[in-house]
Amino acid sequence: MISDININKPKPIVPGKQLEVFDGITDIKKAVKALEYGKQVLITEFYSNGLLLLNGIKDRLKRKMPNKTFKEQRAYREEYHKLSNLILIEITNHKLKVRKSPSIGWLEKLYPEEGDFILSFPQIQGLNSAWQWYENGINIPVLRNKMKPFYGVYFPTRFDHLTLFDQWLKRYEGSKKSAIDVGFGSGVMSLQMVQHGFQKVFGTDTNPNAVVGLTEFMGDTKLSRKIELDHGNLFGKFNKQTELIVFNPPWLPQAHDLDSIDEAIYYNETLFPDFFEGAKQRLLPDGKLVLLFSNLAQITNATEHHPIEKELAEGGRFKLEKCFKKKVKLSSKKTTRDQYWRSSEEVELWVLTNK
């Protein structure tokens, strides 16, 4: 039952004894030094003081750390994440205790029993952005209606792979009785399959927020009878054989401990072997297994190994029917990251069948 699922949300912070205060008059360099020493800094007076301090961290890291290659950018982001999350802000009666701050509906929706508590400033930024997306909805080119992504659920901001999947669905001539969407996330691929005539889609995700969010989005519409969800790993409770299994896995190998949103981006060493083993048991003899992937890990030197190619070479379970590839659009000129690899990146749609 949905009511039994515990939603992932930022945990209220209990501040330590060494708590500094930043009120806009405080010297920024001094406050950043305190953060580097591991001290927590509480934002007071105005919301914009948090933004000032974040800019102070960025200025410090730009002078201190290289930020060009993919690995350097990852190290830079990890250090920024560590320092910025020592910046704290108070919440009282579901509102931020600083002036000129945004109104964030998640504070009441996710913390109905909490009165006064503290979160980190980046967590508040994340809640604020997520509330805007949830309230206003986002357009997904392959869907008819706007999505309203729930807090803590990965949703696509790039659509090349989804366009590739939509083109494949248009050409698909097999049975459309049922399909399994492994790791459905915000639910885009499940909704695509329903749009293209699938009678029943079974979706699984390890993120409880994904289950709660898509269930809420569907409400009691026809979609809720065509899409059945389960909070579980890989195939969850769905054991019946089906004619189509789709999987849009993470595209990069794990390099650190993951939180729930990172699990949509990074994969561990057991994910693909476990997936292929489970897929073999659930795919009908004439069924198709479709995976959306990318060459991102190879072109950024994150790994030399391609997990799908490895399965085809060594797994003995599936054979390749077709692999479609599509060049990705270049990153926006507005982006601050030097994404030199984007000119070489391709999204991939792999169609496998039983041996």
Considering only residues 152 and 305, tell me which one the structure prediction assigns the higher pLDDT. Answer: 152
Confidence check: pLDDT of 33 > 60: yes
Give the integer Cα–Cα distance in Å for 321 and 328. 23
pLDDT at 73 over 50: yes
For residue 237, the SS3 value is: coil
Tokens of residue 118, six digits: 């503290």
CATH superfamily of 160-354: Vaccinia Virus protein VP39 (3.40.50.150)
pLDDT over 80 (residue 1): no
Query: Angle between the 160-171 and 188-195 helix axes, to the nearest 10 degrees?
Result: 30
What token pair was written down for 222? Answer: 């026809």
Handedness of CA 343, 344, 345, 351 (dihedral sign): positive
Strands 201-205, 227-231: pairing kind: parallel
Determine the average pLDDT of the residues in 24-28.
86
Q: Backbone dihedral region of 216: left (phi > 0), alpha (psi from -120 to 50 degrees) or beta? A: alpha
What is the model's pLDDT at position 265?
64
Of 147, 229, 152, 242, give the one whose Cα is nearest residue 192: 147
pLDDT digits (tens, 9 = 90+) for 92-150: 999 999 999 999 999 999 999 888 999 999 999 999 999 999 999 999 999 988 999 99
Position with higher pLDDT, 282 vs 68: 282
Q: 139-184, pLDDT tens digit by residue? A: 999 998 899 999 999 888 889 999 999 999 999 999 999 999 999 9
Structural domain boundaries in the chain: 2-134, 160-354
